[in-house]
Amino acid sequence: MSEDTMYFFWDLGQYLINGLTQGSIYALVALGYTMVYGIIKLINFAHGEFYMIGAFIGYYIILAGVPLYLAFPIAMLGSGLIAVIIERLVYRPIRHAGRIPALITALGISLFFQYLGQMLIGADPKAFPAAIEEKTYIFGEIMITNIQVIILVATFVLMVVLWWLVNHTRIGKAMRATSYNHDAAELMGIDTNKIISFTFFIGAALAGAAGVLVGMYYTTVEPMMGLIPGLKAFIAAVLGGIGIIPGAVLGGLTLGVAENLVVGFWVSTYRDAVAFAILIIILLIKPAGILGKNRKEKV
């Protein structure tokens, strides 16, 4: 093997590691999108903001001296509760008004949190406190940090917990039933409003965890940080098949890897265009997503 090819593979490995790390973050946020869409057919545009909120809760409590292992659950709980409040106050009344009014409302919520954050915290990026010391491990030419390892492990653990919750608990069964057929679930005595609130809670908690992880990874947080990752996580959800939980994970990892390959081997300034291009291609070729089934419209 020539030296060039060797370096190509080292680079490839590095981009894959970075891509998987980035993709894990997307996947965590995408899960919330997909769960909420699955249950009430709403593209929750404001979902990226729960990620931002999680990051800021993490920022403040770590600054206050709370250890990292406690900061995680607190940030998750905080994002989740805010999401539940928003669902109760805004999304529930609008639920039956049709999809477009609901979409516009979600846009409104998104703007609200971004600009409220700017007013309360300030628009400038804040340095995320170093909760643990960063260490770099080197394998050949590939570098991997302990923070990347934490992100990958935390994502994996959260996904296993989610999988267990959805497939092996009563409430998970109720969630699946509500998502499958809202009215029938109601008739079977499931309190669908409660289930929907719970879905928002879980989705936002996962996004909140992603927010803390990304704060550690990129070491800065700011009020607009949820916008682009939020959109990309949505793209990831669509890519995998919106409404399908494993699809969100697949979509998130695929998107993260694809982005890092483009940035690595081509130009970094087109990073965001890649995601949107993927979105458009998938919408045009297979709107139901990689794992989705195409459905015929009834007349």
Can you give the binding site for another protein, defined by CB under 8 A? 43, 90, 93-94, 97-105, 107-112, 114-116, 118-119, 231, 234-235, 238, 267, 269-270, 272-273, 276-277, 279-280, 283-284, 287, 296-299
CA gap 55, 117 in Å, rounded: 12
Least Å distance between CB 268 and another protein?
10
Least Å distance between CB 279 and another protein?
5
Which of residues 119 and 130 has its CB atom nearest to another protein in the complex?
119
Which of residues 168 and 296 has its CB atom nearest to another protein in the complex?
296
Which of residues 82 and 231 has its CB atom nearest to another protein in the complex?
231
How many residues would you count in the chain? Answer: 299
CA gap 102, 126 in Å, rounded: 32
| Pairing state between β 136-139 and 142-145 | antiparallel
Least Å distance between CB 118 and another protein?
8
Which of residues 107 and 188 has its CB atom nearest to another protein in the complex?
107
Tokens of 133: 């010391």
Tokens of 177: 């039933």
Least Å distance between CB 171 and another protein?
26
| Pairing state between β 142-145 and 126-127 | unpaired
Least Å distance between CB 257 and another protein?
19
Which of residues 95 and 176 has its CB atom nearest to another protein in the complex?
95
Buried b (16+ CB within 10 A) or exposed e, 267-290: eeeeeeebbeebbeebeeeeebbb
Amino acid residing at 138: I
